[in-house]
Amino acid sequence: MFRNAPLLFLVFTFLLFSCSKEESAPEAERTVIATLDNFEISETSFQRTYLPVLLYGDKFDSEDNRSDMINFLIGQKILAQKGREANLDTSAHIMRMRTIIENRALSRQLYRTWVKDKLVLPTEDDLRKGFKRGQKGLFVRHLFAKTEEEIRGYSQRLTSGNESFYTLAQEVFTDTMLSKNGGALGWMTFGDLDETLEDTLYGLSAGQISQPVRSQYGWHILSVDDSQEEVFITEEDYQKNRDLIYNKILERRENLLGKQVLNDFMVDFKIEFNREIARQVWPKVIAHLNPAGAQSGPALELSGLTTSLDNLRQETLLTVNGESWSVAEILKRLPELDRSLLYGNLYIAASNIIRDEMISREARDLGLQNHPDVMEEVLDSQDQIIADTYVGLIADTLEFATDHYRNYYNTHKLTKYHAPDSLKIEIYGFSDSTVARKSLYKLRNTNISTNPGDKIFWITAGGATNPLFTLSRSIAIGTLAGPVRYNKQWVLVKLLERKRFPLPFDSIKTKLEEDMERERFATTRGILLDEFRPMHKISINYELLNR
């Protein structure tokens, strides 16, 4: 009935860890950049919120954006205080979310202890070697095997001279693309591959094939077909790229060490699934995520499974070193996972739940729940949830008049509620892509008006002109790009004019209502802060904030 599944963890990444890129200062070095009455907002709190906005949002670092963020955090603390006065912090939802928040904070702190604090920092020699490699591109093919015995068999077949790398790759790979292109990875440069593979590659000359080499993924044989190198590089070039090279090396080492640490930790946990029960549970989970007749998207929660799985809830779904986990315990934790994991299979989803639980238990055993960074992160995250809940409750009472919807539409119709752009373009046709690329450089560096194109016409998103549309909409008016394949030619495209037409008001009412809900929330938040903010003593150290 039960089968061992410890190897599932070997392919997992740090889902909880990966979002923690900021460095935390020791308690003695904590810097306060703002105060709200007697409450202090540290630089760590600010960076924890601000950095993801820069990394994953559409904003750039600036004094204005820093000011907006610190004022947002101050507002969040004010609204959370109001939420606590309304006893929102004692609700079942907030209490449940606090446990999830704390587990994630513990995982990130354990990651710092296990990985970040043990990273070998790049030396000056590492940086210069990386910069030199970055000036050289290699066209790479590879063969892959899971075992050393298998890869050495491939090596012997290559050295015998009776088989080419290309034809052997067609046999080795079941992947359609790698099989068709003879194992080609394409042009590679510094930072694109595992550090061990990179060291091997840059020790080869064009036309050479490597001996078997092991990476974190398995065994490889590498071949360099061609190379291109930038010869004219200066010390100034190196200094300009030094920080980028440093971060790339450090990130690669961090990813490798992180996977090794996680695998070493999880190898001690023996996970056994009750596959008979799993086969009964998972179809119902999938049916709940994709209910019949649903227009799009997954269900928001899993509470609807309670009735359909009543007879299985107390059954043991899996055991971990003899500790039983029931169906109910796993289902309760499914909403904590990244949504994409729920479309894989129950074994992977449940294994990730166990992994996260064992990591948080280890962190608690080490007393990390009392670490200042953990306590601060938990408080900040909890304040965000309480503040948003409080604003949401007030926002539900705010009504928008009909003309408010129309005014919002008129304000945003050309930026948010428009049909695909119509583009007027000029094209230059060539029979060969290489000639087209050379001509692109020439035309960009001359007066294009003296070199009229083959044709000028308007295009939209559909039909045979779609490749032209995809390219043209990404460039500024008056600029040239390409080449792209069109009408059996390679063409360069110049964007001449762009026209944008709004969609009719009645056709986007559903989308408009969704956006107005966000507008309702933002409006309510602003109204509340205008009322409450003057009641508090606020101080911001802009010198520290913008240093």
pLDDT digits (tens, 9 = 90+) for 168-221: 998 888 877 888 888 899 999 998 888 889 999 999 988 899 999 998 889 999
Q: Dig out the tokens for 529 from the structure.
A: 């802060």
Distance of CA 226 to the CA centre of its chain: 32
Determine which of 28-42, 398-412, 425-439 has the lowest per-residue pLDDT on average. 398-412
State the average pLDDT for the chain: 84
What CA–CA distance (Å, rounded) separates 279 from 3?
Answer: 14
- 152 has a pLDDT exceeding 80: yes
- 1 has a pLDDT exceeding 80: no
- 450 has a pLDDT exceeding 80: no
Q: In CATH, what is the architecture of 422-499?
A: Roll (3.10)
| The 316-320 sheet, strands edge to edge | 2-4, 271-274, 316-320, 323-326
Phi, psi (degrees; rounded to nearest 5) at 318: -160, 165
Q: What's this model's pTM, rounded to 2 decimal places?
A: 0.66
CB atoms within 10 A of CB 250: 16
> Where are the chain's structural domains?
17-118, 136-229, 269-365, 422-499
Per-residue pLDDT at 303 = 58
Q: How many alpha carbons lie under 13 Å from residue 492 in its C-beta half-sphere?
A: 24
Cβ(194)–Cβ(217) below 8 Å: yes
What CA–CA distance (Å, rounded) separates 200 from 203?
Answer: 5
In tens, the pLDDT along 6-31 reads 323 333 333 333 444 444 434 446 79
The CA distances from residue 444 to 30, 432, 457, 492, in Å, are 51, 18, 21, 11
Cβ(492)–Cβ(451) below 8 Å: no
Q: Is the peptide bond before 483 cis (omega within 30 degrees of 0)?
A: yes
Per-residue pLDDT at 80 = 96
519: CB partners within 8 A, 6+ apart: 400, 408
DSSP-assigned letters across all residues of 187-212 = EE-TTSS-HHHHHHHTTPPTT-BPPP
In the CATH scheme, what is the code of domain 136-229? 3.10.50.40
The kind and range of the H/E element at 59 are none
pLDDT bracket for residue 110 (50, 70, 90): very high
- 418 has a pLDDT exceeding 50: yes
Nearest to 426 by CA among 499, 477, 488: 477
The reply to whether 136-229 and 422-499 are identical in fold is yes
Among left, alpha and beta (phi > 0; psi -120 to 50; other), residue 447 is: beta
Stretch 474-501: mean pLDDT, rounded? 86
Longest dimension (CA), the chain: 84
The residue with greater pLDDT, 328 or 461, is 328
Pairing state between β 213-214 and 219-229: antiparallel
- 325 has a pLDDT exceeding 80: yes
Amino acid identity of residue 336, one-letter, is E
- 377 has a pLDDT exceeding 80: yes
Place of tokens 């909890």: 382
Rounded to 10 degrees, what is the CA torsion of 142, 145, 148, 152?
-50
Nearest to 442 by CA among 474, 495, 480, 468: 480
What CA–CA distance (Å, rounded) separates 40 from 380?
Answer: 12
Rounded to 10 degrees, what is the CA torsion of 28, 33, 39, 44?
-60
- 467 has a pLDDT exceeding 70: yes
Amino acid identity of residue 209, one-letter, is I
pLDDT bracket for residue 354 (50, 70, 90): very high
> Percentage of residues in the chain with pLDDT exceeding 90?
43
